[in-house]
Amino acid sequence: MPVLHRWPRTLALVSSLVLLLGPVRVASAQTQVTALSGLDFGAIISGTTSTIAPTAAQAMSFRIRANVGLSLGFTMTLPTVLTRVGGGATMPVSFCTTCARYRLNNTNPAGGVTFNPNVGVLALVLLVAGDVYVWVGGSTSPPLNQPAGNYTGTVTLTVAAII
């Protein structure tokens, strides 16, 4: 009888060991893209060009997060105009060849790597899990006769794991 009493404890111990020694799980690779802030031109002057540098607080910013080391590339499709809701007008917006920066595991764009947002970063190797922070500045040049209204545009960010 004492032997039978020990069975449940033995089973529990065996179960625990099986769980501990069970198949080793490799963490599933994940990517996560988060939009952190938009491009904020602030007060503008009609008929003149307003420019936001990628290092400015008003720059657009994203974070690409990978939970394991991998090679990835990212490109952006950027609008050339903002369109007035309801039609009737567009407003030019442009992104220069040095209007973007990226940096690994650091949220400060100063010291980041400059790149052309119209080309993107074709390949970036993350040796371990990490965050890629991306900042994009731009310019807008509304003419003097720019109609009032609400203007929209779409930025497409493409992130590809190189595998």
Residues at the interface with other proteins (CB under 8 A)? 26, 28-47, 58, 60, 66, 68-71, 73, 82, 85, 91, 93, 122-123, 125, 127-128, 138, 140, 142, 144, 146-163
Task: Give me the least distance between CB of 110 and other proteins, in Å please.
Answer: 19
d(CA 47, CA 25) in angstroms, rounded, equals 60
Between 96 and 155, CB nearer to other proteins = 155
Between 33 and 96, CB nearer to other proteins = 33
Task: Give me the least distance between CB of 7 and other proteins, in Å please.
Answer: 35
Task: Give me the least distance between CB of 68 and other proteins, in Å please.
Answer: 5
d(CA 53, CA 64) in angstroms, rounded, equals 21
d(CA 84, CA 69) in angstroms, rounded, equals 42
Between 112 and 138, CB nearer to other proteins = 138
d(CA 69, CA 29) in angstroms, rounded, equals 9
CB 146 within 8 A of CB 89: yes
Between 3 and 156, CB nearer to other proteins = 156
